[in-house]
Chain A
Amino acid sequence: MGVTILQQFPIENRTGPATIELLTKRISALGAVQQGHFLVDCETYSSVANLGPPRTVHVLHNSEQPASCFSILDTGTKTIPLAADGLFDLLMLKMNYFYQAKKQTKAESKGPRFEIGDFCVKLGTVTVSQNFKGILVEVEYRPCVVPGMCWELIREFMQGVLGSSVQSNPPPYLATRMQENYTPIDTIHQYLEHFTMFRKSPGMRT
């Protein structure tokens, strides 16, 4: 498990599949080999009215950690992350009386997964309740666990693949945690941030 940076890739006037194909061609030209597919999904539950102040629970799965189920509880004032076994999904079903799934909000990012040297690159097509929303590119540098040490290195790699669309600063979520050890839940946080933005935007987010 290494440091992962998630960023959106602008579609401009292309379609989703055409953008994925463009990126696949670019990264294959650099010598990457495709290693299967990946999927990250997110379901959001909100508390019922008689449970006091409104709270939201986001439940996410990442195919990179297939036996785990991640959840983030948002109380409005703070967020509480939790990594649990896959059985947590069944527990959420039991809590149907307190937390109800929001309609039409299931977000997913899925697509091909590539390995190149010690890097792992995932090109994800984002859909919110089956509607195409945009492209998310995930780049993981596996040997390093401290974001502050390898951010510049990852940025240089991303510039090589994605061109000028790469930001010069780390994602806001990571910026405050640059010297801490990176864990899988940090990837989940980054995905949730992007999914929330995708859900808010009415059409495609470019």
Chain B
Amino acid sequence: MTDLEQLQTALHSLKVLRSNVGIAFESVSNGLRADHGEDGKENKFILELQELLSTVNNNLRDVEGAVSNLSIPPGPFALGNTIYLSQEVTQERQSLYVQLVNSYKWTDKIRDYSALAGNILASNSVNKTYKTFSTTKRRKTQTSTHNVPPEVIENLITGIDRLFPDVTITASRPFVPNPVIQASLSRVLKAVIAFKGLMIEWVVVKAHSESNDLWTESRYKVFKKVTENCHAAMCHFHSPTMPELAVKSFMHWFHSYNTLFSNPCKRCGNYLYSNLPPTWRDLRTLEPYHEECK
């Protein structure tokens, strides 16, 4: 570690030396300037030059000192296969080394961050995959939530469709096991819901007149807010052990938005707060609240 610090100081003093040499040369090449005045301008110039040169001298001493502190590396550096890059002759490939170093730095950072994230996430139980660590009682292997036969999802969707008469569901399957359904909630709004196996992966809420695109958000503020709240609810209801129940409870909660415009806030009794209707529905009681009132 101290080696590295010494190397850093040596490099730094070298940089300072270079910059000051640069300044000295610049001053010499510019010659006499207007700010030297009229009387004794030559003397002033010489003095200035002397000053610059003495700084350069000092810097040079610093560099020599720093360099003498450095320890000589014990053997050749182990660069692995990268040493062969030096034998590359074509012009355009010579920049590969810089890219290599950059990507090395990136992967190094990723390792650090992922280790940190792993530590933090381990203490919070938002596991998307279900694992039992008990060895005494071996349960039968859990059905995966990612990889389920399409019929199971199909059944789930038709089940939901039957559960709520004012929710109409149309499904499309851009990728075979993962359907994207479009759920219209009477005449209030529609939601585009993407599934990943039996899990809800993404929800976008929009007005009926807007496109079914999964990636563009609604142009209305109220539906943007509802989309945000749907994401919160999607995470809240998520349960890896009972994926079907999670989807059903989410749809049950979602269904309560059919009174989005027609029910006042339970807390303040008004329809509007900062020009938005009550966009939050309580997760258990399904009562409407403004975001600021909940």
Say whether B262 contacts A152, CB under 8 Å. Answer: yes
Residues from chain A with Cβ under 8 Å of B188 in the complex: 144, 146, 149
CB-CB nearest in chain B for A179: B187
Contact B261 A153 (CB under 8 A): yes
Among listed A10-18, A70-78, A103-111, A116-124, interface-contacting one: A116-124
Query: Is the beta-carbon distance between B275 and A142 smaller than 8 angstroms?
Result: no
Given the known interface contacts A117-B276, A157-B272, the answer about A150 and B221 at a Cβ–Cβ threshold of 8 Å is no
B271 contacts A153, CB within 8 Å?
yes
* Bound-state Cα–Cα, A153 to B260, Å: 10
Of residues 271 through 289 on chain B, the ones whose CB sits less than 8 Å from some CB of chain A are 271-272, 274-277
Contact B187–A146 (Cβ < 8 Å): yes
Q: A35 CA to B274 CA in the complex, in Å?
A: 19
- Judged by a CB distance under 8 angstroms, whether B220 is at the interface is yes
Identify B221's interface contact among A118, A146, A181, CB under 8 A. A118
Q: Is the CB of B262 within 8 A of A150?
A: yes
Task: Say if the beta carbon of B195 comes within 8 Å of chain A.
Answer: no
Within 8 A of B (CB), among A25-39: 31
**Interface presence of A156 (CB below 8 A):** yes
Contact with B along A109-145 (1 / 0, CB 8 A): 0000000111100000000000000000000011111
Chain B residues close to A by CB (< 8 Å): 187-189, 207-209, 220-223, 261-262, 264, 270-272, 274-277
Query: Which residues on B sit within 8 Å (CB–CB) of A31?
Result: 275
Show 18 residue pairs from A and B whose CB-CB distance is below 8 angstroms, ordered by the A residue. A117-B276, A118-B276, A142-B220, A143-B207, A143-B261, A146-B187, A146-B188, A148-B262, A149-B261, A150-B261, A150-B262, A152-B262, A152-B271, A153-B277, A156-B271, A157-B271, A157-B275, A181-B187
A184 to chain B, nearest CB (A): 12
Complex Cα–Cα for A181 and B208 (A): 11
Q: Is A67 an interface residue (CB 8 A)?
A: no
- Complex CA gap A118/B279 in Å reads 13
Q: For chain A residues 68-107, which have a beta carbon within 8 Å of chain B?
A: none
Which residue, of B208, B262, B274, has the highest number of chain A Cβ atoms within 10 A? B262
A146 to B220, CA, bound (A): 16
Residues of A within 8 A of B270 (CB): 156
| Cβ–Cβ < 8 Å partners of A175 in chain B | none
Asked if residues B223 and A143 are in contact (CB atoms below 8 Å), the reply is yes
Q: Closest CB of chain A to B228's CB: distance in Å?
A: 15
Q: Give Cα A148–Cα B186 distance, bound, in whole angstroms.
A: 13
A155 CB to nearest B CB, Å: 8
Name the A residues within 8 Å of B276 (CB-CB). Answer: 117-118
Known: A117-B274, A143-B207. A149 touches B262 (CB 8 A): yes
Shortest distance in angstroms between B188's beta carbon and chain A's nearest beta carbon? 7
Complex alpha-carbon distance, A1 and B207, angstroms: 10
Identify the 8 closest CB pairs spanning chains A and B, nearest first: A117-B275, A150-B261, A153-B271, A143-B220, A149-B261, A149-B262, A156-B271, A144-B261
Chain A contacts with B in 147-200, Cβ cutoff 8 A: 148-150, 152-153, 156-157, 160, 181
Complex Cα spacing A106 to B118, Å? 73
Which chain B residue lies CB-closest to A32? B275
Give the chain A neighbours of B271 by CB distance below 8 A. Answer: 152-153, 156-157
Complex Cα–Cα for A119 and B271 (A): 14
Query: Which residues of A have CB within 8 Å of B223?
Result: 143
Q: Is the CB of B272 within 8 A of A156?
A: yes
